[in-house]
Amino acid sequence: MIKKIAAITMARNDSFFLERWIAYYGKQLGEENLYIYLDGVDQPIPENAGKTNVIHCERVAEHVVKAEKRRLGFLSEVAAELLKTYDLVIGVDADEFLVVDPKRAKSLAAYLSSLKINPSVSGLGFDIGQHLTLEPTLNYSKPFMEQREYALLSSRYTKPSVIAKPVKWGSGFHRVKGHNFHIDPNLYLFHFGSVDMEMIRMRFQDKDRMATGREKHIQKRAKTMHIITGKKALTNEGWLSFARRLQTFARPVFAWNKPSMAFLDLVVKVPERFKGII
C-alpha cells in the first residue's frame, strides 16, 4: 500500500532550483502533495507550480543563524500539522533531492511506504560539485546528473529528511532534536548547491544573501568544488557502505544525534545508474 506523502520546502530567490524541485517531487509524489513556502510576498510563483500549494510568508530579514532557527521552527510546525492527514512528510531545501537507488526499481513513494520509520529516516549525503578542470559550466536546459559525475560524501547532507511523527528539526534540517537518526542503505540525498561555480559567483551578487550573513555559507559551497577538483575520485561502491557506517558511529561531541565523517573528505564518482534522474 502506498502511503500518503507530502514534501515541504521554504525558499527565497531560488526559482532555478524550485522549478526542478517541483518537477522531481511532483513526479514522485504528485504536485498536489507539495507545499512551498516563499520567504517574502515579493517572491514570484514558480512557472511550473501547477497544482502545488504555494504560500507566501512575510519576509523577516535577519542574520542567517537566527533566520534558520525561525525557518525550521516554522517548518516543523507545518510538518506536524500535515502529519494529521499525511503518513509521512519530507522536509528538504529547494536544492536537495531525495533519491532511491535505481537498483531497487521503486519510486520514492513506493520505497518510503515499505519502510518502518520511527521517527525519521536519512539518505546518504551526496554533495554534488563541479569538477573545475573536467566539467564545463552548467547547461541549465539539461539534467544535472548528465553534466556532473562527482560528489563529496558529506554528513552535512545526510539529513533526517523523512519524518513519520511530529519532530523539531534543527537548523537546515540537519537533525531532529531529542531523537537518533537512521541512514537507509538505499536512499541518497543529492545536494546541488555546489553544482556550478558560475552560479556561486552570481549568489555572491545577491544582496539579500549577503545582507543576512550568508557569505560563509556560500564559500563552503565553493570549497566543495575545490575538494572535488583536487582529489582523486573513488569508484568502488564499497566506500558508500563505509561512509554510512562511519557516519552512524562517528558523531560530533556537541551533537550526538548528527552524523560525522570524522574529518575525512571522501570524493566519489557517482554510479552511472543515477545519470539523468535529476
| Residues ≥6 apart with Cβ < 8 Å to 236 | none
Say what the pLDDT of residue 112 is: 98
Say what the pLDDT of residue 220 is: 83
Nearest alpha carbon to residue 126 among 104, 110, 144: 144
The whole-angstrom separation of Cα 76 and Cα 151 is: 29
Residue 37 to residues 94, 106, 119, Cα–Cα distance (Å): 11, 28, 23
Instruction: State which residues of the chain have pLDDT below 50.
Output: 210, 213
Residue-wise pLDDT for 119-152, tens only, equals 999 999 999 999 999 999 999 999 999 999 999 9
Residue-wise pLDDT for 77-96, tens only, equals 999 999 999 999 999 999 99
Say what the pLDDT of residue 84 is: 98
Say what the pLDDT of residue 209 is: 54
Here the cell at position 20 is 526542478
Say what the pLDDT of residue 215 is: 63
The C-alpha torsion from 73 through 7 and 25 to 150, rounded to 10°, is 40
Say what the pLDDT of residue 63 is: 64
